[in-house]
Amino acid sequence: MTTKVGPKVCVYKNTIQQFPASQIDAGQGKVVLRDRHSRAYFLSGSHWYRLGSVYLKHVLVGDAGIWGVDYANRVYKYIAGEFVRSNASLLPGALKYFSCSPTNSCWGVNSAEQIFFTTISPTTCKISNWVRVSGSAKKVEVGYDGSVFVVNSGGQVFQRTGISSSTPQGTGWSYIRMCVSASHVSYDLGRLWVVSKGGIILQCFH
Cα separation of the two ends of the chain: 21
Residue 7 pLDDT exceeds 80: no
74 secondary structure, DSSP code: -
Tens digit of pLDDT for each residue in 95-119? 888 888 888 889 999 999 999 999 8
Q: Which residues pair with 33 in a beta bridge?
A: 24, 41
What residues contact 11, with CB distance under 8 A and at least 6 apart?
A: 202, 203, 204, 205
Instruction: Give yes or no for a contact between 162 and 171, defined as CB atoms under 8 angstroms apart.
Output: yes
Nearest to 136 by CA among 105, 111, 171, 163: 111
Residues 115 and 133: their CA atoms lie apart, in Å, by 5
Confidence band, pLDDT 50/70/90 cuts, at residue 5: very low
Mean pLDDT of 120-142: 86
Q: Which residues pair with 40 in a beta bridge?
A: 34, 51
Domain interval for residue 56: 4-205
Q: Counting runs of H as helices and runs of E as strands, what totals does the chain give? A: 0, 21
CATH number of the domain at 109, please. 2.130.10.10
CB atoms under 10 Å from CB of 155, counted, come to: 14
Q: Count how many domains the chain has.
A: 1
Tens digit of pLDDT for each residue in 143-193? 989 999 999 999 999 999 999 989 999 999 999 988 889 999 999 998 899
